[in-house]
C-alpha cells in the first residue's frame, strides 16, 4: 500500500488509543492546523483529532475562501498578516496544491464616513505590515470589470481600499493537506467520533468521553467551530460566544473574467469568481442565533438585489447552490484563543465569519502554546480573560459582521 492509501485508510478506520498527550476536538481547519504544527514544528505526535462528522464538514468546508489581513486594529492586522504569509508558503511546505491565488481585494464604500474609514484602514494596515492603499473612484471603475459606479442611483462609489495581499484558496484542499501532513507525521485523525463529555478533576482536564469510549489526556484543545459553547460547557466553562447561521451561494459559470475579490461594506456583500467561473458570494450572518443550517429565500433575494445593483451582469446568472454554516460569534468580532479557567482545557474559537484566513497562524500559535506552555505574543490579545479585563478588541473587519 502506498503512502496515499495508508493515509486514506487511517482516516476512515483509525482506532482510538486509550490515552494521548493531546486530544483535539474538531477536524476543521483550526483543529487540523494545530495538530499539523504540533507534529511538524514541535515533534508532538501522540495526538488525536476527533471529528464527529468528516474533516472539513463544518465551516472549514463551507466558507467563501477569502484570505486577507486588512483589519482595522493593530493586533488583528499583525495576526492575520502572519496567517496570510503562512498561506503563501503552505503549498510548498505541504507539497499539496491548494489553488492559492493572491489576486487582491477591493473594499469599496458608498459613503463619506466609509471613505474616511478606508483611508484610515490603509494607514493602519501599512503600519502593521499589510499591503493596503486607498483607491479613488476612477481607479475602481478602471480596475473592476462590470461595476456600476452609481448602483440604483443611490449608492455612488466614493472610493475604497485595495488590499494587494487579498487571496483565495480552495478550502477542502487546505483541510486535506493539513490532515495528510499531520497523519504522515503520526497524528491519529479519526472521523465519526463525537466527544460527549470532558473529565475534570481538581480543575485539571484528565480525560475525554466519546461515542467510542473514554480517552485519558491532560490536554484538550477545543476547535469545534459553532459548537464551542456546548463543548466548553462539558468542562464547566462558559464562553461569550453565540452561534449564528451564515449563508453563501454560487452562480452558474460566468463567461467573463473577474479577477478581483470585491466587498461593499455599505451594501453588505462580497463576491469573487471561482476557478470554475462561478460567481461566489456572501453577506452578513443571520441575526437570530441558531444552530440551523437551513438556507432561506430571504437571504438570496436580498443579496441578489444588492449584488446586481453593483454588478448588473450578475442579473443574467442563475444561483446554482446555496448553503449555510454555523458561526461562533464573539462579542467583539475577534477570535478567542488560549487557556480557559480549567487547566489543560484550551480553546480556539470566536472564528465567526472570518476564521478560514486564520487557519495557518491560529494552528501555529495554538501548537506553540500547547508545546511550550507559553502564550505566543501574537495571540495574547485574543485571550478569553480580555472580556473580564475590559480589553475587548472590537473590530467589525468583515462584511459578515455588519
Q: What is the DSSP string of 117-175?
A: HHHHHHHHHHHTT--EEEE-HHHHHHHSTT--SSGGGT----EEEEETT-EE--HHHHH
Q: Which stretch binds ligand FAD (CB under 6 A): 29-37, 39-47, 111-119, 308-316?
A: 29-37
Judged by CB under 6 A, which of 11, 22, 23, 25 binds ligand FAD? 25
If phi > 0 it is left, if psi is from -120 to 50 it is alpha, else beta; for residue 260 that is beta
The one among 19, 21, 46, 57 contacting ligand FAD by CB under 6 A: 57
What is the residue whose three cell numbers read 483529532?
A: 49
Q: Which is nearer to ligand FAD, 51 or 368 (CB)?
A: 51
Q: Residue 96: left if φ>0, alpha if ψ -120 to 50, beta else—which one? A: beta
Q: Residues 59, 274, 375, 399: which binds ligand FAD (CB under 6 A)?
A: 59
Buried b / exposed e across 238-251, counting CB within 10 Å, b at 16+? ebbbbbbbbbbbbb
Judged by CB under 6 A, does residue 27 bind ligand FAD? yes
Cα gap 277→250, rounded to integer Å: 10
Among 46, 53, 290, 322, which residue interacts with ligand FAD (rule: CB under 6 A)? 53
Give dist(CA 24, CA 220) in Å, integer. Answer: 6
Instruction: Please report, as residue ranges, which positions from 172 to 201 form the binding site for ligand FAD (by CB under 6 A).
Output: 194-195
Give least dist CB 380 to ligand FAD, A: 19
Q: Does 51 bind ligand FAD (CB under 6 A)?
A: yes
Q: Establish if 48 lies at the interface with ligand FAD (CB under 6 A).
A: no
Phi/psi of residue 247, nearest 5 degrees: -105, 160
**Least gap, CB of 262 to ligand FAD (angstroms):** 13
Q: Judge whether 168 and 262 are in contact, CB under 8 Å.
A: no
Q: Which of 11, 20, 22, 26 binds ligand FAD (CB under 6 A)?
A: 26
Strand ranges across the sheet with 101-102: 66-67, 167-168, 101-102
Give the other-Cβ count within 10 Å of 225's Cβ: 27
Is 115 among the residues that bind ligand FAD (CB under 6 A)?
no
Give the strand pairing for 47-51 and 188-191.
parallel
The residues with which 47 forms a beta bridge, in sequence order, are 22
Closest CA to 78 of 269, 270, 334: 334
Of 114, 151, 207, 355, which one interacts with ligand FAD (CB under 6 A)? 355
Judged by CB under 6 A, the residue of 10, 22, 47, 66 near ligand FAD is 66
CB of 179 to ligand FAD, least distance (A): 11
Residue 242 contacts ligand FAD per CB under 6 A? no
Q: Return the residue of 246, 304, 329, 342 that touches ligand FAD, per CB under 6 A.
A: 246
Distance of CA 234 to the CA centre of its chain: 24
Strand partners, 191: 51
Binding mask 276-315 for ligand FAD (x = CB under 6 A): ------x---------------------------------
* From 79, 107, 254, 354, residue interacting with ligand FAD (rule: CB under 6 A): 354
| Tally of residues, the chain | 402
Residue 325 beta carbon to ligand FAD: minimum distance, rounded to whole angstroms: 2
Among 20, 22, 23, 30, binds ligand FAD (CB under 6 A): 30
Task: Considering only the stretches 1-9, 28-36, 313-321, 371-379, report the one whose residues sit in contact with ligand FAD under the rule CB under 6 A.
Answer: 28-36
| Residues within the interface to ligand FAD (CB under 6 A) | 25-31, 50-53, 57-60, 62-66, 194-195, 223-225, 227, 231, 246, 248, 282, 325, 327, 351, 353-357
Amino acid at each position: 500500500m502506498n503512502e496515499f492509501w495508508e493515509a486514506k485508510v487511517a482516516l476512515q478506520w483509525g482506532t482510538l488509543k486509550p490515552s494521548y498527550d493531546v486530544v483535539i476536538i474538531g477536524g476543521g481547519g483550526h483543529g487540523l492546523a494545530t495538530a499539523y504544527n504540533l507534529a511538524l514544528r514541535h515533534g508532538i505526535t501522540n495526538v488525536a483529532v476527533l471529528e464527529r462528522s468528516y474533516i472539513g464538514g463544518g465551516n472549514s468546508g463551507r466558507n467563501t475562501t477569502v484570505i486577507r489581513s486588512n483589519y482595522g486594529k493593530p493586533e488583528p492586522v499583525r495576526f492575520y498578516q502572519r496567517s496570510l504569509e503562512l498561506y503563501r508558503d503552505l503549498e510548498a511546505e505541504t507539497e499539496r496544491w491548494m489553488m492559492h491565488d493572491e489576486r487582491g481585494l477591493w473594499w469599496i464604500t458608498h459613503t463619506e464616513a466609509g471613505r474616511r474609514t478606508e483611508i484610515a484602514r490603509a494607514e493602519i494596515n501599512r503600519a502593521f505590515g499589510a499591503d493596503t492603499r486607498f483607491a479613488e473612484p476612477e481607479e475602481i471603475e478602471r480596475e473592476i470589470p462590470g461595476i456600476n459606479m452609481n448602483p440604483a442611483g443611490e449608492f455612488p462609489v466614493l472610493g475604497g481600499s485595495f488590499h494587494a495581499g487579498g487571496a483565495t484558496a480552495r478550502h477542502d484542499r487546505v483541510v486535506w493537506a493539513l490532515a495528510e501532513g499531520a497523519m504522515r507525521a503520526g497524528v491519529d485523525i479519526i472521523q465519526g467520533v463525537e466527544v460527549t463529555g470532558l473529565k475534570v478533576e481538581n480543575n485539571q482536564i484528565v480525560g475525554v468521553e466519546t461515542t467510542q469510549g473514554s480517552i485519558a489526556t491532560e490536554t484538550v484543545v477545543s476547535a469545534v467551530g459553532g459548537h464551542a459553547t456546548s463543548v466548553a460547557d462539558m468542562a464547566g466553562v462558559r464562553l461569550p460566544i453565540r452561534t449564528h447561521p451564515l449563508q453563501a451561494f454560487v452562480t452558474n459559470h460566468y463567461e467573463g473574467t473577474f479577477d478581483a475579490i470585491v466587498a461593499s461594506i455599505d451594501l453588505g456583500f462580497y463576491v469573487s469568481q471561482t476557478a470554475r467561473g462561478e460567481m461566489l458570494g456572501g453577506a452578513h450572518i443571520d441575526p437570530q442565533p441558531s444552530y440551523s443550517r437551513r438556507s432561506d429565500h430571504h437571504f438570496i433575494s436580498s443579496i441578489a438585489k444588492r449584488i446586481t445593483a453593483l454588478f448588473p451582469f450578475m442579473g443574467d446568472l442563475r444561483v446554482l447552490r446555496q448553503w449555510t454554516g454555523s458561526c461562533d460569534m464573539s462579542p467583539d468580532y475577534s477570535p478567542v484563543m488560549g487557556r480557559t479557567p480549567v487547566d489543560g482545557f484550551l480553546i480556539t474559537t470566536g472564528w465567526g465569519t472570518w476564521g478560514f484566513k486564520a487557519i495557518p497562524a491560529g494552528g501555529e500559535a495554538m501548537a506553540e502554546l500547547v508545546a511550550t506552555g507559553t502564550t505566543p505574543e501574537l495571540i495574547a490579545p485574543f485571550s478569553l480573560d480580555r472580556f473580564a479585563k475590559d480589553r475587548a478588541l472590537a473590530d467589525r473587519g468583515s462584511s459578515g459582521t455588519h
